Amino acid sequence: MAGITVVEPMRERFAELVATMSPRDRTLFVGLVVFVLMALFGGAWWIGRSVLADVGSRVEQREETLALLNGLADDQSTAASLVGEIEAELRKSNGQDLPSFIEKAAENTGIASNLQGVREKQVITEGSLEEKTYTVEITKILLPQLVDFLHAIETGDYPLRVRTMKAKSVTTAGTKMLTVSMEISAFRLIDDEGAPATAKGEETP
């Protein structure tokens, strides 16, 4: 065959070359051949190791990216669930305004006669969320009564926030009383026409 025909003369010449070498040259030649083979083997091993390391690094990066995407998906799902819960809480107060809620809380805590007024101060609308701020004035109440009133409005399932509160101490018939002024924000969902948004299955009156 052509391949064997070409290889045979080269093998014979190589054998003749080695045979004509002195023992010292032969030793050096064999050492050179071994060195070249080791160098080739070492180079191939280093290249293979580098390739494997690069592949491993890419796999690790892709796993980190996948983990990040999964984490973002979980965060988005959690955020969407939280938004749904907040919207459900906001819809609970539809049909009831803050002044009525405050008056009822004052009546339940025994300070209805001390409530001087609930006046609207400003309205801020961002998208479908409306925030109304009211000024609430209460005169001549005891500290325990104030604590009960605050607890009633903050745990009454009405979407509100006490923005500021100022209390002034006064003495009446030898008893220290408080005159309180506070700003309270109330929140509600509105539709595109400005009417309160209703939960599914509800009808706006």
Domain range annotation of the chain? 1-91, 98-189
Instruction: Give the whole-number percent of the chain exceeding pLDDT 90.
Output: 32
Contact 170/144 with Cβ under 8 angstroms? no
Average pLDDT for 164-191: 89
Average pLDDT for 184-196: 69
- Its pTM stands at 0.53
DSSP 197: P
Instruction: Give the whole-number percent of the chain exceeding pLDDT 70.
Output: 57
pLDDT of residue 171: 87
**Burial letters for 27-54: b for 16+ Cβ neighbours within 10 Å, e otherwise?**
eeeeeeeeeeeeeeeeeeeeeeeeeeee
Q: Is residue 136 pLDDT above 70, yes or no?
A: yes
The strand pair at 115-126 and 129-141 is best described as antiparallel
Domain 98-189 is classified in which CATH homologous superfamily?
Answer: Ribosomal protein S6/Translation elongation factor EF1B (3.30.70.60)
Lowest mean pLDDT among 41-55, 127-141, 143-157: 41-55
Helix locations, 92-162, DSSP H: 98-108, 143-154
pLDDT of residue 116: 95
Q: Is 133 left (phi over 0), alpha (psi -120 to 50) or beta?
A: beta
Q: Is residue 204 pLDDT above 50, yes or no?
A: no
* pLDDT 10s digits, 44-89: 666 767 767 776 777 777 777 777 767 766 666 665 555 555 556 6
